Homo-oligomer: A and B are copies of this chain.
Amino acid sequence: MSSPPRDLAGLLFGRRLRTDEQDAQKISALAGIPVLGLDALSSAAYGPEALLTVLLPLGAAAIGYLAPISAIIIAILLAVFFSYRQTIAAYPNGGGSYTVAKENLGPHAGLLAAAALSLDYILNVAVAIAAGVGQVVSAVPKLLPFTLPLCLVILVALTIVNLRGIREAGLVFMLPTYLFVGTLAVVILIGVAQVALAHGHPIARVRPPSPVASTAAVSLWLLSRAFASGTTAMTGVEAVSNGVPLFTEPTIKNAQRSLTAIIGILVVLLAGVAYVCIAYGITATAPGATGYDSVLSMMTGAVVGRGWFYFLTMVSVVCVLCLSANTSFADFPRLSRLLALDHYLPLGFAHLGRRLVYSLGVIVLAVFAGILLIVFGGITDALIPLFAVGALLAFTSSQWGMVAHWRRVGGPGARRSLVINGVGAIATSVTLLVVIVCKFTEGAWITAVAIPMLYAIFLGIRSRQERVARELGEEQPDWGPLPIHEAKPPVVIVPITRLDWVSRKALSFAVTISPDVEAVLVQTDDSDTGVDRVEALRAAWGELVHDPCQTCGLEPIKLVTLKSEFREFIPPILRHVREAAHRHHDRYIAVVVPEVVKRRWYDILLSGHRPTILKSLLRIHGGPRVIIVDAPWHLRQNNRRVDPRRAERRDAGRDQGDANEQSRGTEERGGIVGTHPEEESR
């Protein structure tokens, strides 16, 4: 921990963590609130707003329905809370909807929940960042043209923080989270106090605009839609149950404490906002129209005026809106790891990265959210209706899963638990139905397409991966003894163009692996690149190659000339290799490709890439017995910056060793074995 990071990756992501440092990355119940609770808590900022916006056509009458609808949402929230408390206890290794549904309702139910959640996580990142940036640009209209860049900057920052590890994310997000909760609580408290002092008729410091005239009568449909919009407040509640293993010991207790704190704060904030809004007569203003002001902004202005505290509150709201994306970053990688272990995703998703997070999951989440942001230009209003469906679908499968769990487990206490989860299951099922019906035309039907699509993709990946694994014989039962009978040396073919040092190195390696080496020279008969060179090489071959081989007691290297009437270089070589494979049906054909390693852009631009193309074609079309050998030659200039002392220092501090640099040590300065011209001539 003492050594400072030495490279860019170190600076960005922090030093690499050893696997046994995993415990040090766990988080306390308190840190759990910013890491896993931001998505839920930020609901307090947009839930009431979403609800009231739907009620806009009712005019001043809207305010009368805020209390009952909020009460219903809080009641469902509490039902879900008690359910998830039990899930945490029952699944200490992480009881996300995927796991619970899979284990109790079967793999397909689990996969469906996983598809719904994955979609929800990706949408959440895009929508949350866009919502936060939307608040910023509406406050500072000059920033409006930079909406998308701002979104992407925040996305990248979130990605980096999350790649630095869960613990780091918790620490970074602690301050804005508590600032948000604190300022909002203060506003609500002052509001409640003023209501009490004014006997229920407080005078607003800053008068909210009077409600618009009523344009519609109240209807069950309108109220249902308001409820459906309000349920966005429920997204993010499952995060803790999915992330149980992130907590320090006692894991279950800490996770439950964290969940209790999150839901407790959320309920208080939701109830408080509703109470203060009713008391001050605050309804929504039409979004997008001039004079638009958010409900939270009007409420804060009404209670404390538009002083510094107002601005502090608004800043914390914006921060929390943006950061609520973080819950996805904490949970999606864990979900994708589980899917990878079940082969529904590539195994890379289960690989713990340098900071002990599942880095690939973090990156893939960021990429998809980034695509959404770019496609929608940073304005994701159209995505909001899709938002709650995934989460609620996952909740529902999880709750029914728990019901099945208790029925299976049985025993004392199971009955009580079953009832609790049953209530949760029914509540979320009904909510899900209402949301789907109410929002179907607004775009929720897209979810109905996207979730089955994701589900099918997961299944497809699994089937493909299992098929490949079967063919490769990855499963231990398939392992038989290594198939070697007699080790005939390979036929070695070395395509050369002249006898430069690159070809020499390839030839000098070739003779160490087989007595059967042939150098292959393509002869084109156009005058510029052709005949003379070939003749010169043929003339010199005996003295330069044949004789030295014989002197060392080696089988001499044959020189084969291939005529190329179409002036092509690669096809004649491929044909020759194929013929060799045909002739020697019981031997490997090793094609040693001499190649200069170029690392400067201008060298890469100036070179012909023939070796690279040859190697690719041999790989793809070479057939099963063709082996490609890459004999790289390093230009002296490439290694100029190697400083022997630096290399030694690096050797001393081995555990810090970066592969990139370690491999360029001092002792590496031999060239071709025996003469060392590659770098010693420096």
Known: A465-B606, A513-B489. A632 touches B619 (CB 8 A): yes
A137 within 8 A of B: no
CB-CB under 8 A from A528, the residues of chain B are 337, 341, 350-352
Known: A484-B549, A630-B627, A635-B471. A582 touches B667 (CB 8 A): yes
A482 within 8 A of B: yes
A347 within 8 A of B: yes
A675 within 8 A of B: yes
Give the residue of B461, B602, B619, B664 whose beta carbon is less than 8 angstroms from that of A630. B619
Shortest C-beta distance, A205 to chain B (Å), equals: 55
A499 within 8 A of B: yes
Question: Chain A, 379-418, contact with B by CB distance < 8 Å: what is the 0/1 string?
Answer: 0000000000000000000000000000000000000000
Instruction: Please measure, in the bound complex, the distance between the C-alpha atom of A615 and the C-alpha atom of B480, giving whole angstroms.
Output: 28
Instruction: Please measure, in the bound complex, the distance between the C-alpha atom of A500 and the C-alpha atom of B632, giving whole angstroms.
Output: 28
Instruction: Please measure, in the bound complex, the distance between the C-alpha atom of A351 and the C-alpha atom of B525, giving whole angstroms.
Output: 11
A509 within 8 A of B: yes
A140 within 8 A of B: no
Contact assessment for A630 and B615 in the assembled complex, using a CB-CB cutoff below 8 Å: yes
Known: A548-B481, A565-B19. A617 touches B663 (CB 8 A): yes
Give the residue of B545, B547, B633 whose beta carbon is less than 8 angstroms from that of A472. B633
Instruction: Please measure, in the bound complex, the distance between the C-alpha atom of A575 and the C-alpha atom of B479, giving whole angstroms.
Output: 29
Question: Chain A, 532-560, contact with B by CB distance < 8 Å: what is the 0/1 string?
Answer: 00001000100111011100101001000
Contact assessment for B486 and A571 in the assembled complex, using a CB-CB cutoff below 8 Å: no
Instruction: Please measure, in the bound complex, the distance between the C-alpha atom of A674 and the C-alpha atom of B480, giving whole angstroms.
Output: 14
A257 within 8 A of B: no
Interface residues of A in 594-649 (CB under 8 A from B): 596-597, 599, 602-603, 606-608, 615, 617, 619-636
Known: A552-B484, A663-B622. A468 touches B596 (CB 8 A): yes
Instruction: Please measure, in the bound complex, the distance between the C-alpha atom of A631 and the C-alpha atom of B299, giving whole angstroms.
Output: 69
Shortest C-beta distance, A74 to chain B (Å), equals: 40
Contact assessment for A628 and B625 in the assembled complex, using a CB-CB cutoff below 8 Å: no
CB-CB under 8 A from A468, the residues of chain B are 596, 603, 635
Instruction: Please measure, in the bound complex, the distance between the C-alpha atom of A672 and the C-alpha atom of B544, giving whole angstroms.
Output: 36
Contact assessment for B543 and A673 in the assembled complex, using a CB-CB cutoff below 8 Å: no
A441 within 8 A of B: no
Instruction: Please measure, in the bound complex, the distance between the C-alpha atom of A159 and the C-alpha atom of B488, giving whole angstroms.
Output: 51
Q: What residue in chain B is nearest A667 (Cβ atoms)?
A: B582
Question: Chain A, 1-39, contact with B by CB distance < 8 Å: what is the 0/1 string?
Answer: 000000000000000111110000000000000000000
Interface residues of A in 562-608 (CB under 8 A from B): 565-568, 570-571, 574-575, 577-578, 581-582, 585-588, 590, 596-597, 599, 602-603, 606-608
A214 within 8 A of B: no
Contact assessment for B554 and A484 in the assembled complex, using a CB-CB cutoff below 8 Å: yes
Contact assessment for A663 and B632 in the assembled complex, using a CB-CB cutoff below 8 Å: no
CB-CB under 8 A from A480, the residues of chain B are 544
Contact assessment for A658 and B464 in the assembled complex, using a CB-CB cutoff below 8 Å: no
A508 within 8 A of B: yes
A→B interface (CB under 8 Å): 16-20, 337, 341, 346-348, 350-354, 460-461, 464-465, 468, 471-474, 476, 479-490, 498-502, 504-505, 507-509, 511-514, 524-526, 528-529, 536, 540, 543-545, 547-549, 552, 554, 557, 565-568, 570-571, 574-575, 577-578, 581-582, 585-588, 590, 596-597, 599, 602-603, 606-608, 615, 617, 619-636, 655, 657-665, 667-679
9 closest A-B pairs by beta carbon, nearest first, are A623-B668, A571-B659, A621-B663, A513-B513, A483-B675, A628-B630, A472-B500, A624-B678, A574-B659
Known: A472-B596, A629-B630. 17 other contacts (CB 8 A): A346-B606, A461-B606, A472-B502, A474-B500, A483-B674, A484-B508, A484-B548, A487-B511, A513-B514, A570-B659, A574-B659, A574-B662, A578-B668, A597-B619, A617-B659, A624-B679, A626-B632
Q: Can you sample 7 A-B contacts with CB below 8 Å? A: A472-B500, A474-B498, A480-B544, A485-B674, A622-B632, A627-B629, A629-B630
